[in-house]
A and B are shown apart, each in its own frame.
Chain A
């Protein structure tokens, strides 16, 4: 599972914004503003990975419970999948 080619993470002040360009822009022509943890998850999705690996990385980086980490990862993946920016 990974972000579609052309999906770009770019900075805007203290926020990260995910934008779809080129091929990815055909599926979604908008922008998604992400907080730091969501940006971290999206960053991991730049390369082929899976939910468990991202949850493990999130637990290592942030002081959160495994349940909370899993919930966040699933929410971000569901959102990105919903707008067609993830390929499996």
Chain B
């Protein structure tokens, strides 16, 4: 029973995500920020991520990718351009990002909340994903309609 535990990170040290993905085949990591609300809640939820080649993904998947400045981001795929670049946006964000497959490291399979696992493949999660994207489109269209109406009123 020697060598019975192997720590993949230590207190105060950031988990080496790429190394842990190689070693374990998955990682579980906490959520930082509010950009994926209401799907993922900061300090409460932890996502389970598996490695991804950045190609075999679909609309509504939530990949982990690196930005040009090296920061890691977990947002949702809302579409794909003809050149293969993914169109990605946080559920609580307005701005889209255009991410090539090679910048994608992993994809979220599900999340833990209060010690319980919730897979993104569950019907309820799929429904929530569609609502998050459709709801966002409705908000943008409503805002556009309001601005147009105000502009017409001024004329």
Please state if A34 and B4 are interface contacts (CB–CB under 8 Å): yes
Chain B residues, Cβ within 8 Å of A62: 1
Please state if A21 and B28 are interface contacts (CB–CB under 8 Å): yes
Indicate if A6 sits at the interface (CB-CB under 8 A). Answer: yes
Indicate if B74 sits at the interface (CB-CB under 8 A). Answer: no
Per-residue interface assignment for chain B, residues 1 to 16, with 1 indicating a CB less than 8 Å from any chain A CB and 0 otherwise? 1011111111101110
Indicate if B20 sits at the interface (CB-CB under 8 A). Answer: yes
Please state if A35 and B1 are interface contacts (CB–CB under 8 Å): yes
12 intermolecular pairs with C-beta atoms under 8 Å apart: A6-B112, A21-B28, A22-B45, A26-B43, A29-B9, A29-B30, A31-B7, A31-B9, A31-B27, A33-B5, A33-B8, A33-B23
User: A35 with B112: in contact, given A21-B30, A30-B10 (CB under 8 Å)?
Assistant: no
Please state if A35 and B43 are interface contacts (CB–CB under 8 Å): no
Q: State A64–B5 Cα separation when bound (angstroms).
A: 18
Task: For the complex, count residues of B whose C-beta is within 8 A of A.
Answer: 32
Chain A residues, Cβ within 8 Å of B15: 29-31
Residues on B lying within 8 angstroms of A by beta carbon are 1, 3-11, 13-15, 20, 23-30, 43-46, 48, 112-115, 117
Q: State A70–B3 Cα separation when bound (angstroms).
A: 15
Chain B residues, Cβ within 8 Å of A25: 30, 43, 46
Q: State A15–B8 Cα separation when bound (angstroms).
A: 13
